[in-house]
Amino acid sequence: MAKDSILKEHYAQISSYFNTLEDPRRTIKGNIHYPLIEILFLTISAAVSGANDWVAVEVFGEAKLDWLRGFYPYKNGTPSHDTLGRFFNKLCPQAFEECFREWIKSLPFDYKDTVVAIDGKTARGSYSDNKKALHIVSAYATENGLCLGQIKTEEKSNEITAIPKLLNLIEVKGAIVTIDAMGCQKDIAEEIIGKKADYLLQVKGNQKNLATQITERFNQNVNTKSWTDTDCGHGRIETRLCQVIDDLDFMTNKADWKEVKSVARIYSERICKKTGERSTYSRYYISSLQADPVKIGKATRSHWAIENNLHWNLDVIFQEDKSLKKKGYSAENYNIIAKAALTLIDQEKSNKKSKNSKRQLAALDDKYRAKILGV
């Protein structure tokens, strides 16, 4: 097959997931110099190559125009940062997110026993005097490094209503859905079971009676199944004891929690290697999983990947909190672009370097950039 035919086949597959995306410029009179798919391909190519704002995307486009033309015509060159800003200010983020989810669903992954962590993050750089900072609730498949979907809320307190909506949008069949105490709600547990998944929800003061009952039960030194894990990294020694109980007759509202099968306590002890300082804490969970301390203990640890591998990367590598995208839908759409770029970088396994190093290499090496993009 000729090279041009191969390239056309590849980019036709990519663009097929964005065929339903409505161009926000259709109401503007005059010719459109930069087709929607050309803007999207430019932006995602720039994002995997280290671009964190529209100016950097413009610079990338100018420098790599010949390479871009290997995939799309770019008859009028590439757009300026002002044009990019205006475009993403107006692009409907809900429609863009839907296209992103369809692309993720097309990837060949089995979510059986995979931890899907759900948590929210505020993009602090999106705040202005007349606009609240953007808060996004995301679902992250921790073992696959995939953001399965996201939904915008006005503030953190609205995560309770946002989580069921997000669950309705994504595929989690067979997964273990983990959520912090904000999501420990009976309706959310029922929603997860309805999606043919299991739940592991942290219990705190927002479920005061439940938290009290579980805490008191563990303090009675009842028989438990347990598993101990030790981690010696990051300048500390941390020992975690996972204890689980499956006799739940002590719960006065057990029937209200759909298919609940176990409760768990994670008791952690940390010792600073340098100072010898010791600290302890306990966390409590309710779950539809059987009382398997290894599975539950590992799942609670995996939940933190959404902070360490998704939110941290968005802040530190993609500099989301420093990026001042305040107008229109710009911040929300950039969040989708960054997650798509992060997913592509994570799925490129041939290079064992850090994500930052992969982005630097993608900026310099056209072949490696194409490999990340799968084109």
Q: What digits encode the pLDDT tens for the residues 182-239?
A: 899 999 999 999 999 999 999 998 899 999 999 999 999 888 999 999 888 777 788 9
Burial of 279: CB neighbours in 10 Å, binned 0-12, 13-18, 19+ = exposed
Based on the domain organization, do 280 and 331 belong to the same domain? no
What is the C-alpha to C-alpha distance for residues 187 and 303, in angstroms, rounded to an integer?
20
* pLDDT for residue 127 is more than 60: no
69 and 16, same structural domain? yes
**pLDDT exceeds cutoff 60 at 124:** no
> Is 319 within a domain?
no
Q: 193 with 338, same domain?
A: no
Is 322 part of a structural domain of the chain? no
Residues 149 and 60 in one domain: no
Residue 317 lies in a domain: no
Q: Specify if 361 maps to a domain.
A: yes
- Domain boundary residue, one of 285, 312, 339: 312
Return d(Cα 266, Cα 228) in angstroms, integer: 10
Q: Compute the average pLDDT of residues 340-363.
A: 88
Domain count of the chain? Answer: 2
Q: Copy the structure tokens of residue 315.
A: 């802040």
In the chain, the largest separation of any two C-alpha atoms, in whole Å, equals 75
Q: How far is CA 186 from the centre of its chain?
A: 23
Domain extent at residue 294: 101-312
Same structural domain, 292 and 144:
yes
- pLDDT (tens digit per residue) in 31-44: 678 988 899 999 99
Q: Same domain for 177 and 81? A: no
26 and 109 fall within a common domain: no
pTM of the model: 0.80
Q: 154 falls in which pLDDT band (50, 70, 90)?
A: low
